[in-house]
Amino acid sequence: MERERAARRRVALIGRPNVGKSSIMHALTGRRVTISNYPGTTVEVVSGYFRLGSMTVEVVDTPGVYSLGQPLEAGYDITDYERSEEQKVTSSLIASSAIDLIVMVADASDLERHLPLVIEVLHLKIPVIVALNQMDRAEMLGLCPDVRTLEEALGVRVVPVSASVGRGIERLRACMVSVLRRGTEGEGPKGVSSRISAAERIATEALRTSAPASARSSHSTSARSGKAFEVVLDDPYVGIAASLAIIYLSFVAIVGLTRMGEMLLGVPLLWVAEYFTTILFELGPLRHLVGTSWAEALRAGVREGMLLPVSVVMPAMIGVYVVLAVLEDSGLLARLTVSGERLMNLIDLPGEAAVPLILAFGCRAPAVLASRTVPGSRFRQKTMTFICLGIPCGASVAMTSAMIAQFDADPVVVWGSVGLGFVFLAFMLRVWPGFVDPYLRPHYRPSASPVPVLATEIPPLRMPAPANVSLKTWVRMSSFFEHVLPMLFIVGFGARALLEVGIWKPLAPLGGCTSALFGVQAATLTGVMFTAVQKYLAPAILLTLPLGPREAAIAAVMSAVSVPCLPVSIIVSKESGIRYLVKVWLIGAMLSLGAGLVLNIVLPR
């Protein structure tokens, strides 16, 4: 047992955001990765492993941080220092886990800004290796860091790498194993002032040697063109227009990938579902055991449960995650966040909320997961509230548009009411922060907790690496396959089976009451209630009912601003707990019923 423990070592990757830790992780471990939330947080920690001889090395990719958030000077009160979620996770992981080695990832083209964190890590009394990533970009800029000078100044091994092209990875792997077998520690200067001054001195000394003229000239044209494009995107005005164009192209790509998945999977799955249900409910004994009506209901439920998750939801999730990975790996995601900061501040949200809200127009489930990037539990919960209640997903938009066309409902009334619902929700969350947030103190004032100023690393633009995109997509989809997909099977089966047996019939006697209050019949209100199962189910059910233009408009609005669907609710409960989910459901029910009451009063009969 002791020999087995000695053969297993744990390595932590630490570095600033967008420095390329994920690329190094993939290059070291391939696809052998697992992803999990760190206990008590919503920040993801990715781990993988590789073997070298008799040694098994586990590599843990920690969230990107600018500092570990430790007290930096004597007399500094740690209670006055609020650490970010990423800092808490990284510090706790190092403190509570048996970390045998830290691989400190730094940007070779921007050493002065990255070395303070390197020097801070040296104080942890854990063996350290510095991986100088993005050496290819440094050479494009005419820089060639002096590795020997860095090693002498820091007292640790320094390995130049370019993870995106696999350069230097084998040397890094061998160096890791060598240090793990030997065990070394580094010691940096004490105090924040000395850390910064030391970083400036070390960076100046290490960058005295320029790259060869041949290396500079070979990359000069591409470097200039890439820099020019960055200048255009980073312009405060032109950048907004460019960001809108990127968002539009992202939607086109997501829709295209979703439709391609439906075409490739829909017909084969339909054939498999028909074959399976025919054997089970036509040729088997179930029809005689449960009766013809229940057999047909179960058959429809099984067919829906198989088709919906795999041929509709899964392609949409893959499309969203592929686009998100491309935007992230290319450096465009950070620029979209910066461009959307002003708009987000209008609704009391930080700039990091822009991307999740954009994704919600495609599908709310990945948007909720993407809200993990929003700093602070209060702002993240507000973001999730807008995602769940204020933004219609692509499927519900399509089905609602079909309702408007079929029943000749007024589109201005429908979409205008949905927009007013978003405005009302934003107003309530701004003037009454306790409307959703369960953690606020009784005497909380909005001015006491302002929206955090967006401070994010803007990475250089680059072509996304297919290996990085595929790895990030697979890691994110693994959670969908493990937790969401099985529940979608159950939800799709149950919803369709209940619909087939006429679950709405017991509410028929309440038709007079529902008509007087909301302007809709009992069957219509039952259809609206199915939005709690799947957002598109409510319009799909309503399309089968004989509705007039007025009733169709009211029902469409009530379903659009109602509670989140069950798959999204499951994800929200896992992310923020049942208590928060109950509040969201209560607010959603209030918005839906309130919209019905108001429209029934103001719309002419």
| Sheet order of strands, 128-133 included | 33-37, 44-52, 55-61, 8-15, 101-107, 128-133, 157-160
Question: For 2-224, which CATH superfamily applies?
Answer: P-loop containing nucleotide triphosphate hydrolases (3.40.50.300)
Specify which of 1-15, 85-99, 124-138, 240-254 reaches the highest per-range mean pLDDT.
124-138
214, burial (CB in 10 Å: exposed 0-12, middle 13-18, buried 19+): exposed
Model pLDDT, residue 471:
74
Confidence of residue 293 (pLDDT cuts 50, 70, 90): low
Look at 131-140, 188-197, 487-496 and tell me which has the smallest mean pLDDT.
188-197
What is the tens place of the pLDDT at every residue in 433-458?
655 554 444 444 444 456 666 666 67
CB 592 within 8 A of CB 559: yes
What's residue 447's pLDDT? 45
DSSP string, 547-601: --HHHHHHHHHHHHTSPPPHHHHHHHHHHH-HHHHHHHHHHHHHHHHHHHHHHHH
Top-confidence range, 223-237, 341-355, 442-456: 341-355
Confidence of residue 187 (pLDDT cuts 50, 70, 90): very low
Residue-level pLDDT at 104: 92
pTM equals 0.62
Q: Which band of pLDDT confidence, cut at 50, 70 and 90, is reported for residue 144?
A: confident
Q: Report the range of poorest mean pLDDT among 129-133, 202-206, 310-314, 523-527.
A: 202-206
Assign 103 a pLDDT band (cuts: 50, 70, 90).
very high
pLDDT of residue 105: 92
Q: Tally helices (H) and strands (E) across the chain.
A: 28, 7
Look at residue 144 and give its three-state secondary structure.
coil
At 50, the pLDDT band (50, 70, 90 cuts) reads confident
Residue 249 pLDDT > 70 = yes
Pick the residue with more confidence: 11 or 463? Answer: 11
- 163-173 average pLDDT score: 84
> What residues does each domain of the chain span?
2-224, 238-450+461-602
Q: Residue 276's pLDDT is what? A: 72
Return left, alpha or beta for 206; rule: phi > 0 is left, psi -120 to 50 is alpha, else beta. alpha
pLDDT at 494 over 70: no
CB burial readout 420-458, b (16+ within 10 A) else e: ebbeebbebbeeebebbbeebeeeeeeeebebeebebee
The label of the residue with tokens 């969203």 reads 320
Q: Taking 80 as the threshold, does the pLDDT of residue 118 lie above it?
A: yes
The answer to whether 599 and 417 are in contact (CB under 8 A) is: yes
DSSP 516-549: HHHSS-HHHHHHHHGGGT-TTHHHHHHTTS---H
Answer yes or no: are the C-beta atoms of 128 and 187 closer than 8 Å.
no
What was the pLDDT predicted at 130? 92
Q: What is the pLDDT of residue 448?
A: 47
Instruction: Give per-residue pLDDT as tens, 382-431.
Output: 888 898 888 887 667 766 776 787 788 888 888 889 889 888 888 887 76
pLDDT at 122: 82
* Residues forming beta bridges with residue 130, ordered by sequence position: 104, 158
Q: Cα–Cα distance between 575 and 363 in angstroms, integer? A: 17
Side chain identity at 445, as an amino acid letter?
R
Cα 453 to chain centroid distance, Å, stands at 20
- Categorize the per-residue pLDDT at 524 as very low, low, confident or very high, splitting at 50, 70 and 90: confident
Please tell me the predicted confidence (pLDDT) of residue 229: 67
Tell me what pLDDT residue 218 has.
43
- Name 155's Cβ contacts closer than 8 Å, sequence gap at least 6: 122, 186, 187
**Higher-scoring residue by pLDDT: 397, 155:** 155
Of 27 and 87, the one with more pLDDT: 27
Total residues belonging to the chain? 605
pLDDT at 141 over 60: yes
Kindly report the average pLDDT of the chain as a whole number.
73
Distance, in Å, from the CA atom of 523 to the CA atom of 133, rounded to the nearest integer, reads 62
Phi-psi region of 519 (alpha: psi -120 to 50; beta: other; left: phi over 0): left
C-alpha distances in Å from residue 406, one per residue of 399, 427, 544: 11, 33, 10
Q: 350 CB contacts (<8 Å, ≥6 apart)?
A: 341, 344, 374, 375, 376, 379, 451, 452, 454
Residue 52: the pLDDT is: 73
Predicted confidence band of residue 525 (pLDDT cuts 50, 70, 90): confident
- On the question of pLDDT at 368 being above 60, the answer is yes
* pLDDT band per the 50, 70, 90 thresholds, residue 351: confident
